[in-house]
Amino acid sequence: MNWNTPICKVNETENTIYIKREDLIPYSFGGNKARKAFLFFKEIDACKADYVVTYGSACSNHCRVVANMACERKIPCIIVSPFLSHVKNSYNTQMMEIFNAKIVTCPIDEVHQKIENILSELKRYGHLPYFIAGGGHGNIGTQAYIDCYEEICEYEKSMQMKFDYIFHASGTGTTQAGLVCGQLINGDNRKIVGISIAREEVYGRGIVVESIREYLDTANRKIPEQKIQKSVIFDSSFVSGGYGVSEEGINNIIDNMLSQRGIPLDQTYTGKAYYGMNEYIEKNNIKEKNILFIHTGGTPLFFDYLNEGSLNNG
Ligand SMILES: *Cc1c(COP(=O)(O)O)cnc(C)c1O
């Protein structure tokens, strides 16, 4: 699906920095979860599912968007959510309540079983539930970011320029998998850098590589393993305290980006990734390059940040 989200130049320092505004996808505060969910709901509409089941934390952007789309269709939505002591209720949680989503909590190590139980129970009662993996993980989510990659290529063509680097926040790795698949399919050789927002390097990177392979296998595209491996840069140097934990450098970036550019970032994803990008540029002595930062959304988390008005709001 083509959204053609705007690409804006924000900064001309040693490098030229552009931002692709995925946060402006026109549904439920947008973001990468909206881009993915539109593709999932195409399937849901086609197969006439009568329940949607998904997974995510209380502040999940993914769950907000999925609950919104299910509510619009009058399809009941069940969200399985892990108990996470450091994740507080948020504007996303409040919206899930407005959308009448049923939130079922359980300890994190029982999540898999819980989902299985809910799905088999629904089927036993004659329902046709559709399960969306947490964060919109899987080939459909990957496809959404191949579409995004194609938009980036279109922009480059029309502006007669090339981005040397693409940076973005990497969580479940689906966004990164899609972007890298797009790159491999097009035979481009720029660098795509996923800034990890929680996962450590070996595990997080492994999931990105696995998702790429799964997509390419299903699409019957033969790309050498070595090439896939070389294309995945997953930097976990900025995970700091873990998922949702901010620090002063990140808060400064959020405040600056809003006051100087009018663009909201958040502590969990885009603020952390933008901070990571700046550090990466400096550490690797990158100069005179065209750099694209993908704003993956999460605007409700920006308001959580304002609401908390302090560090480590989780
Ligand atoms: C989920 C999310 C990400 C991470 O995307 P993945 O595809 O899970 O890696 C980045 N930014 C925002 C705002 C998100 O909600």
| pLDDT reported for residue 11 | 86
Residue 33 Cα to ligand 1 midpoint, Å, equals 7
Which of 61, 65, 236 for a ligand 1 pocket mutation test, highest count of atoms within 8 Å of Cβ? 61
Residue 197 Cα to ligand 1 midpoint, Å, equals 9
Averaged pLDDT for residues 86-109: 91
Side chain identity at 154, as an amino acid letter?
Answer: E
Would you call 284 exposed, middle or buried from its count of C-beta atoms within 10 A (0-12, 13-18, 19+)?
A: exposed
| pLDDT reported for residue 87 | 67
Residue 124 Cα to ligand 1 midpoint, Å, equals 34
In total, the chain counts a number of residues equal to: 314
Q: What percent of the chain has pLDDT over 90?
A: 90
**Closest ligand 1 atom, CA of 60?**
15
| pLDDT reported for residue 98 | 98
Which of 175, 205, 235 for a ligand 1 pocket mutation test, highest count of atoms within 8 Å of Cβ? 175
Assign 85 a pLDDT band (cuts: 50, 70, 90): low
Averaged pLDDT for residues 4-27: 96
Averaged pLDDT for residues 7-26: 96
| pLDDT reported for residue 312 | 44
CB 263 within 8 A of CB 55: no
Least confident of 92-101, 130-139, 236-245, 283-292: 236-245
Averaged pLDDT for residues 98-106: 96
Least confident of 39-43, 81-85, 169-173, 270-274: 81-85
Token pair for residue 66? 């999925």
Q: Which residues touch 71 (CB under 8 Å, ≥6 apart)? A: 77, 99, 100, 101
| pLDDT reported for residue 115 | 98
**Closest ligand 1 atom, CA of 36?**
7
Q: Whole-prediction pTM value?
A: 0.96
Residue 238 has pLDDT above 90, yes or no: no
Going by alpha carbons, the residue nearest to atom 2 of ligand 1 is 171
Residue 125 Cα to ligand 1 midpoint, Å, equals 34
Which of 62, 95, 205, 269 for a ligand 1 pocket mutation test, highest count of atoms within 8 Å of Cβ? 269
CA–CA separation, 123 and 266 (whole Å)? 39
Residues with CB under 6 A from ligand 1: 31-33, 61, 135, 169-176, 269-270, 296-298
